[in-house]
Amino acid sequence: MSTPETQAPEAASQPTPPRTQSNGGGDGVILRVEDIHTYYGAIHAIKGVSLEVRDGEIVTLIGANGAGKSTTLRSINGLNPPRDGRITFKGEDITNRSAHHIVKMGISQSPEGRRLFPRMTVLENLEMGAFQRDDKANFPEDLDRVYTLFPRLAERKTQKAGTLSGGEQQMVAIGRALMARPKLLMLDEPSMGLAPIFVEKIFEIVVEINQQGTPILLVEQNALMALDVAKRGYVMETGVIALTDSAAALRQNDQVQKAYLGIA
């Protein structure tokens, strides 16, 4: 179990990297999920979910444990493809594409629980994020970007990832995903297990990454923080989308306030 952090990562300014360009269509939709049904064996986990992410957006998917949020991401990234429905990315059908092909197309994920290589160094973990890239000449530029976003990783680049604190490991997980130069970044529970001051900084960095031109699909149990940074949101319950609206409207929704924001 990770030790709660008492010191937040330093914020740092940096040059804006080249913006990603979407060719998902005239409506700006870069990811479209249409009526997907995903199973674990005979268990019907995802039941007709539809959602979309437009270029430049942060879109959040909130809900209780077991609602199907992470399974939705696994359906998108090819680890657990849906049996029915359709997923398109930048106008191309990726429903039955392999996970490694989807990464190469430009979808990168920071997974729940971080899933680092604990015996490898911070730098080696970050290098793994760029494993499938063909433009190795841009590697130093992207590594500098990660180190600017997360200065602490530069200080610990030769340290084994498994010896880092929980917050530092989360930095590595997000940094590794960024090393793929994603056209869409998916974040699965980035605040899980972190001290409150670290949660705030992680979300500040999420916003900064988005402002640099990367659309983000954010799965998060901390609904208040997620809705604060997102433009639009989806509320998921037992494998279905129960509500969808702008993030501002969802924050004011009575049902959302009672179930997820702790407002009676």
Average pLDDT in the chain? 88
| Structure confidence at residue 139 (pLDDT) | 86
Taking only the tens place, the pLDDT of each residue in 71-117 is 999 999 999 999 999 999 999 999 999 999 999 999 999 988 788 98
Structural domains of the chain, with CATH = 24-106+182-264 (3.40.50.300), 113-181 (no CATH)
Taking only the tens place, the pLDDT of each residue in 51-79 is 999 999 999 999 998 999 999 999 999 99
Taking only the tens place, the pLDDT of each residue in 197-218 is 888 889 999 999 999 999 999 9
* Structure confidence at residue 264 as a pLDDT band (50, 70, 90): low
Which tokens go with 47? Answer: 């039941």
| Structure confidence at residue 22 (pLDDT) | 40
pTM of the model: 0.86
